[in-house]
Amino acid sequence: MTDPTTGLRTAPVVDLRSDTVTRPTPAMRRAMADAEVGDDVYGEDPTVNLLQEEVAAAFGHEAGLFVPSGSMGNQIALRLLVPPGSELLCDADAHVVTFELAAAAVHGQVSTRTWTSTGGRFDPAVVAAMVRPPAPYWVPTAAVAVEQTHNLAGGAVQEHAALRRLREIADAAGIAVHCDGARIWNAHVATGVPLAGYGALFDTVSVCLSKGLGAPVGSVLVGSAERIGQARVLRKRLGGGMRQVGILAAAGRYALAHHLDRLAEDHRRARRLAELLGLDPAVASTNIVAMEVPDAPAVVARARAEGVLVGALGPRIVRCVTHLDVDDSGIERAGKVLSGVLGHAP
Ligand SMILES: *Cc1c(COP(=O)(O)O)cnc(C)c1O
């Protein structure tokens, strides 16, 4: 890159705002261009059908549905699991109650009740104590949602033992469990727990192809064949029925085949960034480094002026996310710039 005013070569911008900023690679674009397509509202797009089958099989579920966004995947799942006038339990910082614009209330007439957690990891005993059985004088609990990994908690991984315990609690109470698995791929790569090991614990899982996997668009919701049949109707009603969308599904299939194992590199780079910033590398359990600073917007602005883009999650938290389009030299430069901005030597 060349600075337009000085004509001098400058280093490219290092964009750590989110793992959604990745652009499709040349090979992914070729896979998209070559995709066989058909009308997916008629169920006739072969590439979409393959993607849905592959993702469902990976999680050990009967069926999958390609949806335009993770938010739509989550919200369709909540409609499937929580009848109007019933409640969903989830973390107070969960994406489903923080970044989905009250969709559960607006579209589903779903009441939400939240728990607070330390480091994003839920306590199964706390959740168990919150469950309300049906009665004519309170809001009955219909489902619990957990986020794997936990975005606002810095990519924290929910322990498999806690998830298993949650499944037992839900079964005993006769309620459902949804997983917002936007970054469940990162949890799988970080822990070695098979995707099917996670899938077995949830009634529905929504997974994003457009985060660390690097596809431009799309999520898949998996569940039983019956639920996914209902999900098809809900998706169409929301305006999410798409036609020759195999072009996008091809990007997702390419991402799953070629970009899943490499998430380990993103995790290594997140640990390296934490180390460069003088943090305990353990804060970066997956591909996110979140840190508390006195003035997050100021840190964002000063880093931006030096070509490093980071995100502010509220007034005091800065978030850096590693992904496909950030390499080792980008991390070294981000570490140097951010250390300078934060006022300590690299
Ligand atoms: C990104 C994300 C989603 C889905 O986001 P969309 O932008 O709607 O695709 C859902 N949950 C979590 C935790 C996320 O980080």
Alpha helix (H) ranges present in the chain?
26-33, 46-58, 70-81, 95-98, 103-108, 124-130, 160-173, 184-191, 195-199, 225-237, 246-258, 263-276, 296-305, 328-342
Quote the CA–CA distance of 208 and 219 in Å, as a whole number.
4
- Rounded Cα–Cα distance for residues 40 and 248 (Å): 12
To test the pocket of ligand 1, the residue of 211, 238, 319 to mutate (highest count of ligand atoms within 8 Å of its CB) is 211
Closest by CA position to 140, among listed 216, 72, 63, 82: 82
Residues 6+ apart with CB under 8 A from 332: 276
Alpha-carbon dihedral 159, 103, 88, 126, rounded to 10 degrees? 50
CA of 345 to the centre of ligand 1 (A): 35
Which architecture does CATH list for 26-258?
A: 3-Layer(aba) Sandwich (3.40)
Q: Is 61 within 8 Å of 68 (Cβ atoms)?
A: no
Q: Which H, E and C letters describe 48-85, residue by residue? A: HHHHHHHHHHHCCCCEEEEECCHHHHHHHHHHHHCCCC
pLDDT of residue 213: 98
pLDDT tens over the chain, length 346 residues: 566 677 776 778 999 999 999 999 999 999 999 999 999 999 999 999 999 999 999 999 999 999 999 999 999 999 999 999 999 999 999 999 999 999 999 999 999 999 999 899 999 999 999 999 999 999 999 999 999 999 999 999 999 999 999 999 999 999 999 999 999 999 999 999 999 999 999 999 999 999 999 999 999 999 999 999 999 999 999 999 999 999 999 999 999 999 999 999 999 999 999 999 999 999 999 999 999 999 999 999 999 999 999 999 989 999 999 999 999 999 999 999 999 999 865 4
Measured in Å, residue 153 CA sits from the centre of ligand 1 at: 14
Residue nearest to atom 14 of ligand 1 (CA): 182
d(CA 65, CA 204): 11
Ligand 1 centre to CA of 114 (Å) is 18
Cα radius of gyration (the chain): 21
Locate the ligand 1 atom nearest the alpha carbon of residue 211 and give its number.
1
Alpha carbons within 13 A on the beta-carbon side of 322 = 29
Nearest atom within ligand 1 for CA of residue 151? 13
SS3 42: helix
Give residue limits of the domains in the chain.
Answer: 26-258, 262-341
Query: How much is the pLDDT for 9?
Result: 67
Q: Which atom of ligand 1 is nearest to the CA of 180?
A: 11
Q: How far apart are CA 196 and CA 205, in angstroms?
A: 11
Atom of ligand 1 minimally distant from the CA of 219: 9
Residue 338 tokens, joined: 């951010």
Q: In 3D, which of 98, 93, 96, 119 has the Cα closest to residue 292?
A: 119
Q: Ligand 1 centroid to 234 CA: how many Å?
A: 19
Q: Are residues 181 and 171 in contact, defined by beta-carbon separation less than 8 angstroms? A: no
Is the CB of residue 287 less than 8 Å from the CB of residue 22?
Answer: no
State both tokens at 301. 């602005």
Return the SS3 of 180.
strand
State the CB neighbour count (10 A cutoff) for residue 190. 19
How many residues make up the chain in this entry? 346
Residues 132-146: pLDDT tens digits? Answer: 999 999 999 999 999
pLDDT at position 346 is 47
Class of domain 262-341: alpha beta
Q: How far apart are CA 200 and CA 195, in angstroms?
A: 9
As for ligand 1, residues whose beta carbon falls within 6 Å of it are: 69-71, 74, 95, 147, 151, 180, 182, 208, 211, 219
Q: Probe ligand 1: pick from 18, 21, 78, 95, max atoms within 8 Å of CB?
A: 95
State the Cα angle at 179 between 167 and 96, rounded to 5°.
125
The Å distance, Cα 268 to ligand 1 centre, comes to 22
Nearest CA to ligand 1 atom 5: 70
DSSP state of 236: H
How far does residue 53's CA lie from ligand 1's centre (Å)?
A: 22
